[in-house]
Structure 1
Amino acid sequence: MNVQLLIVGGGPIGLACGLAAQQEGIDYVIIEKGCLVNSLYHYPLNMTFFSTSERLEIGGIPFVSINPKPTRPEAMEYYRRVATSKELKVHLFEEVEGVTPQDGGYAVQTSKTTYQARFVILATGFYDIPNLLNIPGEELPKVTHYYKEPHFYAMQNVLVVGANNSSVDAALETYRKGAQVTMVIREGEIGRRVKYWVKPDIENRIAEGSIKAYFHSQLKAVREHEVDIETPEGIVTIPNDYVLAMTGYQPNFAFLEKCGVQLSADAKKYPSYSGETMETNLGNVYLAGVVCGGMDTHVWFIENSREHAIRIVNNIAGKIKRLPA
């Protein structure tokens, strides 16, 4: 199958790239390994975005929500309606396995077929690979790096690792469903990027003792019915039924390297790309969205990376115009 542009990733930024390509009359296809906006689908059921709805809009299409801060269901409905009403060319449940230079363009191998594309955009996000703790017991079924909804944890001893938005949401929601919640926090305070309307809530619950928090501490080991926490006062062992390790996620660096995208040699693993055009060290291969930040996954969001689509497609459109007739 031959296309001018192949977009890897059917999240909000991948869809934004498709909309921009459609507007420029560029032949494109979006390949997504899961469902539409797959990462949003796996977000917690009750999640509320930090941003207002207009800052999550793509393609200039209005996003109307009931409240100023839209919820996960509202966002999923919005992006689905955008994809269907604009008849975006999206192939779902098809995983891209490799991108190989071929005949002046790229052969893109997927789980279903091979595409020939002159241009490729990698908008693969970061939500599929969790940052592991690398401690004994992390492989136990009671440990998860993803949190969906709180009812499951009612009347259980729950340990939450972390102090940012996902950790705070999980701690508060499970506490309010009757869980006995303990937090393990590496730093000395709740994260400064926590949503401003939630931060006082978690701080007050900790202050009153409803949620126990160990600051300047680390989870050291997990066993079937208990956990060990390294605190400034020494190792503390507490009863435990479930561990929610909200330690963040990272882009698929192995896939980027397999494609040939250069990464910085330090721990941040910043990919090589032009800030002006978003083009990588590979000619005609571009990055869009949170994947641009390497391990700094808090730098790029929907609201500040949706412009990547415009930059990239403008650059591609200019190149297409210069192609021989």
Structure 2
Amino acid sequence: MQDVVVIGAGPCGLSAALELQRRGLKPIIIEKECVVRSIYLYPTYMTFFSTPELLEIGGYPFSTPNEKPTRLEALTYYRTVAQRSGIEIRPYQTVTGITPLAGGGFELTVQTRSGAVHTVRTRYTVVATGYFDHPNLLGIPGEELPKVTHYYREAHPYSGTRTVVIGGSNSAIDAAMDLLKVGAEVTVVYRGETYSPSIKPWVLPIFESMVNKGRIRMLFGSRVTAISEGAVTVSGREGSLELPNDFVLALTGFRPDRALLTGAGAALRDSDGCPEHDPETMETTVPGLFIAGVAASGSNANEVFIETGRLHGRRIAEYLVPGHE
């Protein structure tokens, strides 16, 4: 019987394990991919909005000569913290089910990359699974084509191509600007009627200028209704348009998967699908089952960031081992 199993080795899962370890428990982390895979999937040359101290976990300082850390620096930081902490991390193993035990605790069903299945028993379970594996799908014909991706890494492969970006958030705007620099013909399709208020204020004027000069085509109040090998169909203010096209970046956001939690009997709020939990302890309606990070968000997964999600583990640890300094 393990003390605690943390499901997910993202920054918030790592933070929870470190807080639990600090209070004398022996957590293990089970992660279906690599450590901090969400950050690995960020755009290659991305720079964080946050300053390094807001990304720190476990008391380990995040040193960087830059005001804002880069993706590569974050990967190095979290990987180093994971290695130095000595916490047991089991990568490339997927928890497929959580079963509460009659006498207390849980039995987790775990599948390895080879397909082998085994179980792990634990007194407590923390679900910190994030959301990057579950993009918000468009539900339109052609979305499954190889030319379509929900993840933007870097602009180079799209040089000289006709690329449609779907979305109006910072990720879509940043991608469009990158694509422009490598000589792509860029069209941004956004269902909003005007620019999103969340766009970084230092980026918006530059982007607007590119649109006004005709270097980027911006289609407001529009949506892509179909994708084919050589075109996309857009419905919006200008009626139905068929745009010649080589690639589609569907940057429409992501959503948490609640299957593990609901399968264990945890209740969700009717209003936004957020797991019912005590915000002081992060415990769900199932005793001993906790959530951390994006798992604690509602329908808007962006309401929880590393800056806030990293603190969830401290609440869990203080509840399980009160009064420990």
Q: Please report the TM-score for the alignment, with normalisation by the length of structure 2.
A: 0.94
Name stretches of at least 5 consecutive residues in structure 1 with no aligned partner.
321-325
Moved more, 199-208 or 296-305: 199-208
SS of alignment partner, residue 261 of structure 1:
coil
Structure 1 distance, partners of 2:52, 2:195, is 26
Structure 2 distance, partners of 1:156, 1:130, is 24
1:281 matched to which residue of 2?
Answer: 285
1:193 matched to which residue of 2?
Answer: 198
Deviations 1:65-102 (A, max 9, x none): 23111111000000011111222221111111111011
User: Does the 8 Å contact 2:168/2:190 carry over to 1?
Assistant: yes
Deviations 1:32-80 (A, max 9, x none): 1001111111111111111111111111211112311111100000001
Cα displacement (A) at 1:233: 2.6
1:142 matched to which residue of 2?
Answer: 147
What pairs up with 1:1-325 in 2 under 5 angstroms? 2-102=1-101, 103-112=103-112, 113-266=118-271, 268-318=272-322
User: Does the 8 Å contact 1:49/1:72 carry over to 2?
Assistant: yes
Instruction: Flag the 1:204–1:66 CA change in 2: closer, same or farther, 3 A.
Output: farther
Counterpart AA for 1:207: N
Counterpart AA for 1:218: R
2:115 matched to which residue of 1?
Answer: none
- The alignment of Structure 1 onto Structure 2 pairs a total of residues equal to 318
Structure 2 distance, partners of 1:198, 1:235, is 30
Structure 1 distance, partners of 2:208, 2:41, is 27
Moved more, 161-170 or 241-250: 161-170
Structure 2 distance, partners of 1:187, 1:80, is 38
Structure 1 distance, partners of 2:77, 2:201, is 25
Cα displacement (A) at 1:319: 11
User: Does the 8 Å contact 1:13/1:288 carry over to 2?
Assistant: yes
User: Does the 8 Å contact 1:164/1:194 carry over to 2?
Assistant: yes
Structure 1 distance, partners of 2:43, 2:242, is 29
Structure 2 distance, partners of 1:310, 1:76, is 22
SS of alignment partner, residue 229 of structure 1:
strand
User: Does the 8 Å contact 2:19/2:314 carry over to 1?
Assistant: yes
SS of alignment partner, residue 166 of structure 1:
helix
SS of alignment partner, residue 95 of structure 1:
strand
Percentage identity across aligned positions? Answer: 42
Moved more, 220-229 or 200-209: 200-209
Name stretches of at least 5 consecutive residues in structure 2 with no aligned partner.
113-117
User: Does the 8 Å contact 2:98/2:260 carry over to 1?
Assistant: no
Cα-Cα RMSD: 1.5
Superposition misfits of 4+ residues, deviation over 3 angstroms: none
Structure 2 distance, partners of 1:201, 1:309, is 39
Structure 2 distance, partners of 1:61, 1:195, is 29
